[in-house]
Structure 1
């Protein structure tokens, strides 16, 4: 999968996660083994996709003169994973969630601009 396709896919996932965060209630028991298993099954493929995106993006920015720096990429990877978990556990304030969301979207937009230049 090309980097642009990975970004587009993750943007769709991000929007779904945001909807989930905004519309679902907190789990009654965050330590419930069944809930943990459901979250694990649903999120593992997305975690793998985030890792693939990170590797592709890192290669892309190392080969070219771009606006995104490796540290921004690493922070974006971490923020994506936080958003993924917060969307299920709903354990962070809405303001913080939206800050993480906007930060990820911003870096994705920078990468898309850089991709379109080449």
Structure 2
């Protein structure tokens, strides 16, 4: 997979998760092992994708003139992981979730712009 493809996949993923966050009744029972196992199973490929994206994005921003700083890649990766988890556990305020979502999209869009101009 290319960085461009993975970036676009992540944008679609967080859009889907954002919809889930907005449309799911919460909070959930955090002590439920059944729910935990479902979340673990559902999110494993998402975490794998974000990890791959981070590694590719770090290489890209280090090796080229990019508008994205390596620290932004790392913090976006952390934000993506938080979006994934909070989309299931629904345990942060809407405002905070929106901030994570918007800042992630911002950096993902900057990466796509840098790829276009590379």
Which range, TM-score by smaller chain? over 0.9
Partner of 1:91: 91
Partner of 2:56: 56
Q: Distance in 2 between matches of 1:35 and 1:115?
A: 39
Q: Distance in 2 between matches of 1:27 and 1:92?
A: 10
Q: Could you say what secondary structure the match of 1:26 adopts?
A: coil
Misfit runs of 4+, over 2 Å: none
Partner of 2:2: 2
Question: Shift in Å at residue 28 of structure 1?
Answer: 3.8
Partner of 2:75: 75
Q: Could you say what secondary structure the match of 1:68 adopts?
A: coil
Partner of 2:13: 13
Partner of 1:108: 108
Q: Could you say what secondary structure the match of 2:65 adopts?
A: coil
Alignment of 1:7-46 (within 5 A): 7-46=7-46
Question: Shift in Å at residue 26 of structure 1?
Answer: 1.6
8 Å CA contact retained: 2:80, 2:104: yes
* TM-score normalised by the chain length of structure 2: 0.98
Partner of 1:66: 66
Query: Structure 2, unaligned stretches of length 5 or more?
Result: none
Cα RMSD after superposing both structures: 0.7
Q: Distance in 2 between matches of 1:29 and 1:14?
A: 23
Q: Distance in 2 between matches of 1:34 and 1:110?
A: 38
Q: Work out the number of aligned pairs and report it.
A: 118
